[in-house]
Structure 1
Amino acid sequence: MISLATENARPVILWFRKDLRLDDNRALHAACKLGRPIIAIYIREPRSDGTGPLGAAQAWWLHHSLESLEMALGKLGGRLHLISGDALDLLCDLIDDSGAEMVLWNRRYDPAGIAIDTRIKRALAEQGIEAKSFSGQLLHDPSRLMTGAGTPYRTYTPFWRALEKLGEPDDPLDPPTKVKFIDLPQKSEPLAEWRLLPTKPDWASEFKDIWVPGEEAAHRRLTDFVENDLQGYRRNRDQPSRRATSLLSPYLALGVISPARIWCETRGSSKRVPVADLVHFRKELAWREFSYHLIYHFPELPNRNWNDRMDAFPWQNDKKHFSAWTKGVTGYPIVDAGMRQLWRHGFMHNRVRMIVASFLVKDLMIDWRHGETWFRETLVDADPANNAASWQWVAGSGADASPFFRIFNPTLQGEKFDPDGSYVREFIPELANLDNKYIHRPFDAPASVLASAAIKLGTTYPEPVVDHAFARDRVLVAYAATKDGA
Structure 2
Amino acid sequence: MAPFPRNPSYMAGMTEPSLLWFRHDLRLSDHPALLAAVAGGRPLLPVFVLDDAAAGPHRPGGAARWWLRGSLAALGRDLAARGAPLLLARGRAETVLPALAAAIGAGTVHAGRGYEPWARAQSRRVHEALADGGRSLALHTTALLREPHGFGAASGKPYAVYTPFAKTLLAAGDPPAPRPAPDRLAGLPHPPGGETLEALGLYPVPGEPDWARGFDKTWQPGEAGAQARLARFVAGALGRYGTDRNIPGIEGSSGLSPHLHWGEVSPGQVWHAARAAGAEAGQTETFLKEILWREFSYHLLWHRPELPEVPLRAEFSRFPWQADAALLAAWQRGRTGYPVVDAGMRQLWQTGWMHNRVRMIAASLLVKHLLQPWQDGAAWFWDTLVDADLASNSASWQWVAGCGTDAAPYFRVFNPILQGEKFDAEGRYVRRWVPELARLPNAFLHKPWEAPSEVLAAAGVRLGTSYPRPVVDHAKGRARALEAFAALRA
Is 1:269 paired with 2:277? Answer: yes
Q: What is the TM-score normalised by the length of structure 1?
A: 0.96
Contact 2:54 2:119 in 1 (8 A): no
- Counterpart mapping for 1:290-309 below 5 A: 290-309=296-315
Is 1:207 paired with 2:240? Answer: no
- Counterpart mapping for 1:115-154 below 5 A: 115-154=121-160
| Residues 257/3 of structure 1: CA separation in 2 closer, same or farther (3 Å cut) | farther
In 2, distance between residues paired with 1:77 and 1:192?
22
User: Which residue pairs with 2:457 in the alignment?
Assistant: 451
Deviation string for 1:61-119 (max 9, x for gaps)?
Answer: 00000000000011111210001101011112112222221111011111111111022
Deviation string for 1:422-444 (max 9, x for gaps)?
Answer: 10010011101111110000111
Which residue of 232, 241, 264 maps to 1:256? 264
**Partner AA of 1:77 in structure 2:** G
**Deviation of the 1:52 alpha carbon:** 7.6
Is 1:181 paired with 2:180? Answer: no
In 2, distance between residues paired with 1:201 and 1:47?
25
**Deviation of the 1:127 alpha carbon:** 2.6
| Residues 302/464 of structure 1: CA separation in 2 closer, same or farther (3 Å cut) | same
| Runs (5+) with no aligned partner, structure 1 | none
**Partner AA of 2:345 in structure 1:** M
Contact 2:10 2:105 in 1 (8 A): no
Query: Could you say what secondary structure the match of 2:66 adopts?
Result: helix
Query: Could you say what secondary structure the match of 2:202 adopts?
Result: coil
Which residue of 383, 387, 400 maps to 2:393? 387
User: Which residue pairs with 2:3 in the alignment?
Assistant: none
User: Which residue pairs with 1:245 in the alignment?
Assistant: 253
Task: Report which stretch shifted further, 386-395 or 176-185.
Answer: 176-185
User: Which residue pairs with 1:160 in the alignment?
Assistant: 166
Task: Report which stretch shifted further, 89-98 or 246-255.
Answer: 89-98
Contact 1:45 1:52 in 2 (8 A): no
User: Which residue pairs with 1:219 in the alignment?
Assistant: 227
User: Which residue pairs with 1:171 in the alignment?
Assistant: 177
In 2, distance between residues paired with 1:34 and 1:480?
64
Is 1:108 paired with 2:107? Answer: no
In 2, distance between residues paired with 1:348 and 1:278?
22
In 2, distance between residues paired with 1:255 and 1:97?
28
**Partner AA of 2:371 in structure 1:** M
| Runs (5+) with no aligned partner, structure 2 | 1-7
Contact 2:271 2:288 in 1 (8 A): yes
User: Which residue pairs with 2:81 in the alignment?
Assistant: 75
Contact 2:344 2:362 in 1 (8 A): yes
Which residue of 362, 368, 374 maps to 1:362? 368
**Deviation of the 1:297 alpha carbon:** 0.4
In 2, distance between residues paired with 1:425 and 1:263?
34
| Residues 52/170 of structure 1: CA separation in 2 closer, same or farther (3 Å cut) | farther
In 1, distance between residues paired with 2:314 and 2:462?
44
**Deviation of the 1:10 alpha carbon:** 2.6
In 2, distance between residues paired with 1:391 and 1:274?
31
**Partner AA of 2:176 in structure 1:** D
**Partner AA of 1:301 in structure 2:** L
**Deviation of the 1:170 alpha carbon:** 1.8
In 2, distance between residues paired with 1:3 and 1:53?
37
In 2, distance between residues paired with 1:190 and 1:5?
26
**Partner AA of 1:256 in structure 2:** E
In 2, distance between residues paired with 1:305 and 1:186?
46
Task: Report which stretch shifted further, 312-321 or 117-126.
Answer: 117-126
In 1, distance between residues paired with 2:384 and 2:373?
18
Query: Could you say what secondary structure the match of 1:104 adopts?
Result: strand
User: Which residue pairs with 2:71 in the alignment?
Assistant: 65
**Deviation of the 1:456 alpha carbon:** 0.6
In 2, distance between residues paired with 1:287 and 1:379?
18
**Deviation of the 1:185 alpha carbon:** 5.4
In 2, distance between residues paired with 1:49 and 1:66?
18
Deviation string for 1:127-151 (max 9, x for gaps)?
Answer: 3212111112111111122111110
User: Which residue pairs with 1:317 in the alignment?
Assistant: 323
In 1, distance between residues paired with 2:292 and 2:114?
17
Which residue of 401, 407, 415 maps to 1:409? 415
**Partner AA of 1:227 in structure 2:** A
In 2, distance between residues paired with 1:16 and 1:51?
21
Is 1:439 paired with 2:441? Answer: no
Contact 1:106 1:135 in 2 (8 A): yes
In 1, distance between residues paired with 2:243 and 2:101?
54
**Partner AA of 1:253 in structure 2:** H
Q: Percent identity?
A: 45
Contact 1:54 1:383 in 2 (8 A): no
Contact 1:50 1:113 in 2 (8 A): no
- Counterpart mapping for 1:22-61 below 5 A: 22-50=28-56, 54-61=60-67
User: Which residue pairs with 1:289 in the alignment?
Assistant: 295
User: Which residue pairs with 2:479 in the alignment?
Assistant: 473
Q: CA RMSD in A?
A: 1.5
Is 1:19 paired with 2:25? Answer: yes
User: Which residue pairs with 1:231 in the alignment?
Assistant: 239
Q: What is the TM-score normalised by the length of structure 2?
A: 0.96
Query: Could you say what secondary structure the match of 1:261 adopts?
Result: helix
Contact 1:124 1:130 in 2 (8 A): yes
In 2, distance between residues paired with 1:4 and 1:134?
25
Contact 1:145 1:163 in 2 (8 A): no
In 2, distance between residues paired with 1:195 and 1:385?
25
In 1, distance between residues paired with 2:266 and 2:194?
27
User: Which residue pairs with 2:338 in the alignment?
Assistant: 332
In 1, distance between residues paired with 2:422 and 2:53?
41
Deviation string for 1:25-62 (max 9, x for gaps)?
Answer: 11100111132211110001024524985210010000
Contact 2:33 2:142 in 1 (8 A): no
